[in-house]
Amino acid sequence: LIPSIPATLGNFLVPMMIGAKDLAFPRINLLSWYIYMIGGVITIYAATRPHEAPKVLEVASREIRRLRTSGVDRQELARVKNQMKASLMLSLESTQSRMSKLAKDELYLGRHNSLDEMTAEIDRVSEHDVLRLGHELFDFSRLSVTAFGPISRRSLDGTVG
């Protein structure tokens, strides 16, 4: 269950970006979760044109700040939960994915974790849980930005925080 949460958060940010022309969607991906588990680091990846980078950072910063300070509303949480459950169910259609899940269940839990148990865990997540986790994970005082390509530091100043 836990490794699927960041993969779904990538799609959580998409609605915030729909109105923004020519921008890539920030994505918190599965690799981010493993990096966090190993080193305590959360990553957000966005690919865009150099001149759009400040706008992407502004949108991502605004959403991070919102998750940290006000969390999500009931409708937003329900949408994310439904997407997580649907993604989880679809992922179990592949033999390779099922075998990988069984191995992870054994390694992490020492037993098989049923689909019903996983969906029940997803359903138990509350708005308060998201706010608490957002406050814990997203601390602007420890934020860093890495940019590749023809982007000047000056063009990104003031876009985060």
Query: Which residue in 62, 40, 16, 56 sits closest to 137, CA to CA?
Result: 40
Residue 57's pLDDT is what? 86
Given a contact cutoff of 8 angstroms between Cβ atoms, the answer to whether 46 and 26 are in contact is yes
C-alpha to C-alpha distance for 134 and 137, rounded to whole angstroms: 5
Residue 37's pLDDT is what? 56
Mean pLDDT of 115-133: 92
Both tokens of 3, joined, read 């490794």
Residue 128's pLDDT is what? 93
Higher per-residue confidence, 101 vs 161: 101
Residue 27's pLDDT is what? 44
Residue 157's pLDDT is what? 80
Phi-psi region of 158 (alpha: psi -120 to 50; beta: other; left: phi over 0): left
Residue 153's pLDDT is what? 81
Mean pLDDT of 24-31: 48
Per-residue pLDDT for 5 more than 60? no
The three-state secondary structure class of 123 is helix
Given a contact cutoff of 8 angstroms between Cβ atoms, the answer to whether 53 and 156 are in contact is yes
Positive or negative, the Cα torsion across 65, 69, 73, 76?
A: positive
Given a contact cutoff of 8 angstroms between Cβ atoms, the answer to whether 33 and 2 are in contact is yes
What's the pTM?
0.64
C-alpha to C-alpha distance for 149 and 130, rounded to whole angstroms: 34
Summarize pLDDT for 60-110 with one digit per residue, the tens.
Answer: 888 888 888 998 899 999 998 999 899 888 888 888 888 888 888 888 888
Res. 18 pLDDT band, cuts 50 70 90: very low
